[in-house]
Amino acid sequence: MSCALHGGMRINRFWAVHHWLPVMLAMFRMLAELKRDPGRGLLSRVLLTASPRTYYLVQYWESKEKLYAYASAADAFHRVVWARVNRMDRGGRVRGHVGIWHEAYVVPEGSYEAIYGDMPAFGLADAHGQVPLETRGRYAKDRFAHRSKGEKAA
């Protein structure tokens, strides 16, 4: 079972660069840290922009346990950043300037469908590999019925 983490930031006050730029740079630093240490469990990630103000990050993790372990690891940059953000928030120094958010989803094998046509590996295919469409069936109902060995259908 893997885990998908959606998160990002929104610049609420564009000219308050000194408030939102550190948040953005911290996001890039955490991604670099995770790239250097694949054992932490990040399988793949995609950074998107929804607008000049909104940045959206989709991450695919080996498991929610690996995600939680990274988030709380004393030697990981995430914990340092989260403590800093909490201190700034308590002091009223980030409110209104930059918004941050995340959503985490557990993704059991066989409970999703991802189809890619004329695309390089992207999203779940980048995290778990691509399988030719015919391997799991021509129709969606057949593909959703596919289970790996030992996995029970829901």
Helices (H) and strands (E) in the chain, counts: 6, 4
DSSP class of residue 79 equals H
- Of 60 and 143, the structure prediction assigns the larger pLDDT to 60
CA distance 6 to 64: 13
**pLDDT of 97 above 70:** yes
Residue 69 has a pLDDT of 98
Residue 154 has a pLDDT of 40
Q: Nearest to residue 66, comparing CAs of 1, 131, 136?
A: 1
Classify each residue of 42-66 as buried b or exposed e, where b means 16 or more C-beta atoms within 10 Å of its C-beta.
Answer: bbbbeeeeeeeeebbbbbbbbebeb
94: helix, strand or coil:
coil
Residue 148 has a pLDDT of 54
Q: What is the mean pLDDT of the chain?
A: 86
pTM reported for the whole predicted model:
0.82
Backbone φ, ψ for residue 84 (5° rounding): -65, -45
Residue 86 has a pLDDT of 82
In Å, what is the CA distance from 82 to each residue of 50, 52, 72? Answer: 24, 24, 10
Contacts of 64 (CB under 8 A, 6+ apart): 1, 3, 104, 106
For the stretch 37-59, pLDDT in tens is 999 999 999 999 989 999 999 99
DSSP class of residue 6 equals E
Question: Does the domain spanning 2-106 belong to CATH 3.40.50.1860?
Answer: no
Percent of the chain exceeding pLDDT 90 equals 51
Strand partners for 59: 5, 45
- Of 7 and 124, the structure prediction assigns the larger pLDDT to 7
CA distance 127 to 122: 8
**pLDDT of 144 above 70:** no
| Predicted confidence band of residue 74 (pLDDT cuts 50, 70, 90) | very high
For the stretch 98-139, pLDDT in tens is 899 999 999 887 777 777 778 887 888 888 887 777 777 777
Residue 146 has a pLDDT of 59
Give the start-to-end residue ranges of the domains of the chain.
2-106, 108-145
DSSP class of residue 49 equals E
How many Cα atoms are found within 13 Å in the side-chain-facing hemisphere of 19? 20
Residue 96 has a pLDDT of 85
Average pLDDT over residues 8-36: 94
